[in-house]
Amino acid sequence: MKHLLDFEQIIGLVTPSARKISSSWDEVNLASAENSYSQNLANYFISYHTNLLQRPDLTGLIEFSGSTANERALKIAKEKTGKTKVLMSNLAHSSIQHAAQGQTGFFSGIGLEPIIVDVDHTANFQVNSDQLKKIIDQHGKEIAVIVSTYGTTQLGHAENIATQDSVKQLREDGTWLHVDAAYGGCYTLHSSFISHTIPDADSYTLDPYKFVGKPGCSLLLIKPTMLLPLNVPYYEKSNFTPYTTHSMGPIVAWAQMVKDYEPAGLQELANDCVLEARLAGMQLKSAGVDLLYGPKMTIVPLRLYSQEQALHVRENLRQQGYQVGKLHIVGQDYQIDGIRFTVTPQVPEFHQLRRFVPALISTLSPSNL
């Protein structure tokens, strides 16, 4: 089978040297507080990101994935507020809705009823402020947590839910605000080309490995006073992870990448990804391709006529050696289908992307659809 160039998954760069160094740490347990080196490195991993976010008041829990971090944020919000609903847009990550309903995930049956408000697909895919205020006026006293996504998986855009006046007022009344910045956070914190600002919130999800490192070291950032007890009676338990077993390997891989690239190199790496995504978007748009949004970060979403056509295009590209993601956005009165591709440092040889874009344009030509 032909090796596929992966433009679907948002997984960042880990160099062979970082992978080799980290492999000797794969079987070291972060959850044990007795290894001082691992605990110091975990503390550095957390403080590095709280400093970038300019939120030194926060601490962090190291999670297996952004999904588990999101799930834990919902669980904490429910227990701290005692309320029963979660408000999100229809572009929120699937882990939010599934965790709330207890369909999947680590926290079966959190018991938060989801209130889903559709984004306006004619207004940059943002939630209408009047519609949001109406929902908050109706359900506000029952809302435990509002989720605002910073870097949606399908479009790569920053939702403005967190900055709405009605949401700010609800926070003053005790409702929790969680910003899911799993994808968009680390690119924004390192790139000088992204103009958006990550909004103030009570908790954040970050996935550093979507930029550099290897999977297994996501972050839930939160105020120390909001953490639930993590004590384990049978050994000295680390405060940096909620689990009793968690590999140090991914954290060591991330740390080695940060050491090798240094701040200037990481900024250049992030800027390259953003710039190449935007150049690809310009090239596609000039060729008459229906660009759905942006790109503002590193995701390039394209509109097609149907799910069947999107499937056809994905399979055609796959036969050429390229893997792209699907796009499927459903609102009460609309459905949008298409494909999306993402530019990450995982494919640092950008000439590969520059070969892919002409192949994509050819695949989307009327004679091939």
CB-CB contact of 102 with 74 (8 Å) = no
Q: For 248-279, write each residue's pLDDT tens digit.
A: 999 999 999 999 999 999 999 999 999 999 99
pLDDT of residue 107: 46
Average pLDDT for 69-88 = 94
Residue 91 pLDDT greater than 90, yes or no: yes
Radius of gyration over every alpha carbon of the chain, rounded to an integer in angstroms:
21
pLDDT (0 to 100) of residue 204? 98
Average pLDDT, the chain: 91
Please check the confidence at residue 14 and state whether its pLDDT lies above 80: yes
Q: Which residue has the higher pLDDT, 305 or 369?
A: 305
Does position 49 have pLDDT exceeding 70, yes or no?
Answer: yes
Which pLDDT does position 3 carry in this prediction? 66
pLDDT, residue 332, reads: 93
Q: 17-258: same fold as 5-11+263-368?
A: no
Instruction: Compute φ and ψ for 185, nearest 5 degrees.
Output: -60, -50
Kindly indicate the confidence band of residue 95, based on its pLDDT and cuts at 50, 70 and 90: confident
* pLDDT at site 135: 96
Q: What is the pLDDT of residue 100?
A: 61
3-class DSSP state for residue 206? strand
What residue ranges do the domains of the chain occupy? 5-11+263-368, 17-258
Residue 39 is predicted with a pLDDT of 96
User: What is the pLDDT at residue 349?
Assistant: 61
Q: What is the mean pLDDT of residues 114-128?
A: 95
What region, left, alpha or beta, does residue 102 occupy, with left being phi > 0 and alpha being psi -120 to 50 degrees? left
Question: Do β-strands 325-331 and 334-342 pair in parallel, antiparallel, or remain unpaired?
Answer: antiparallel
The DSSP-derived string for 114-131 is EEEE--BTTTTTB--HHH
pLDDT surpassing 70 at residue 47: yes
Render pLDDT for 122-180 as a digit per residue (tens, 0 to 9): 999 999 999 999 999 999 999 999 999 999 999 999 999 999 999 999 999 999 999 99
Q: What is the pLDDT of residues 326-358, one digit of tens each?
A: 999 999 999 999 999 999 987 556 668 888 999
pLDDT band at 94 (very low <50, low <70, confident <90, very high): confident
The string of pLDDT tens digits covering residues 203-215 is 999 999 999 999 9
- Using 50, 70 and 90 to split pLDDT, how confident is the model at 6? confident
Answer whether residue 296 shows pLDDT above 80.
yes
pTM given for the model: 0.94
pLDDT band at 1 (very low <50, low <70, confident <90, very high): very low
Q: Which residues contact 207 (CB under 8 A, 6 or more apart)?
A: 10, 65, 66, 182, 183, 185, 186, 218, 219
Q: What is the CATH number of domain 17-258?
A: 3.40.640.10
Query: Per DSSP, what are the bridge partners of residue 181?
Result: 206
* Predicted pLDDT of residue 348: 52
pLDDT at 232 over 80: no
Tell me how far apart the terminal alpha carbons of the chain are, to the nearest angstrom: 24
Q: pLDDT for 307-326, tens place per residue?
A: 999 999 999 999 999 999 99
pLDDT of residue 108 exceeding 70, the answer is: no
* Second-level CATH architecture of 5-11+263-368: Alpha-Beta Complex (3.90)
Q: How confident is the model at residue 305 (pLDDT cuts 50, 70, 90)?
A: very high
* Ramachandran area for residue 124 (φ above 0: left; ψ -120 to 50: alpha; else beta): left
Residue found by looking up tokens 């991993």 in the block:
45
What is the torsion angle, in degrees rounded to the nearest 10, for the CA atoms of residue 239, residue 245, residue 249 and residue 253? -40
